[in-house]
Chain A
Amino acid sequence: EAQVTQNPRYLITVTGKKLTVTCSQNMNHEYMSWYRQDPGLGLRQIYYSMNVEVTDKGDVPEGYKVSRKEKRNFPLILESPSPNQTSLYFCASTQTPGFGANVLTFGAGSRLTVL
């Protein structure tokens, strides 16, 4: 089954404790992206990657890091989480984002709480 898999789905952590949210897709998509979703603010892009070793900032990159060492994986790293990073996070992928009806496929989401 074609899918985007995120882990963990739920996480409660404390301020300053480094964490990684993994994202993996099995569709051989070139493009991957991370979004956070907060009430009233909608989905906001954190980082995206056009291909292996190619990453770029989205709208809200502060406090996050990403890497794209393999095509299928795009982990999101919070080096020193803070309470304002409490949010619902989605990983998404597509083949060619800039053309046609190329649809973003989303993971199931990771709900993160930082105390």
Chain B
Amino acid sequence: GQNIDQPTEMTATEGAIVQINCTYQTSGFNGLFWYQQHAGEAPTFLSYNVLDGLEEKGRFSSFLSRSKGYSYLLLKELQMKDSASYLCAVRDSDTGRRALTFGSGTRLQVQP
């Protein structure tokens, strides 16, 4: 089975940098995804990591350490529109047919 932990809520200031952590336990790791979800809307894909290291995509970066079972999503130059929930999701090679298992999400509130 899988266990995914991420903080429930975070608050940050517009223009700042915020790091959202995710730890996971899985028997056969095969990729980690980050999704963004605005309230009442569908999740949308942000990033994908399968090897250790940092993946950068504009203002968003995602880091993975497979040995530590740890990932983080880094959001730079925060904007008000970044207020949303951020979902960490893990793909397990043993249950790859089921696509992804999601964490409960971190609700980020960006303040002026």
Contacts and interface: CB of A to CB of B under 8 A. Distances in A.
Interface of chain B, helix or strand or loop or mixed? mixed
Contacts, number: 67
A101 B104 contact: no
Nearest to A94: B99
A85 B71 CA distance: 32
Contact of B98 (A41, A58, A88, A100): A58
Interface size range of chain A in the complex = 20 to 34
Contacts of A106: 42-44
Interface stretch (A20-28, A42-50, A66-74): A42-50
Given A42-B104, A98-B96, A103 B42 contact: no
Interface string A77-115: 000000000001010101001111101101111010000
Interface of A: 31, 33, 35, 40-45, 48, 50, 56, 58-59, 88, 90, 92, 94, 97-101, 103-104, 106-109, 111
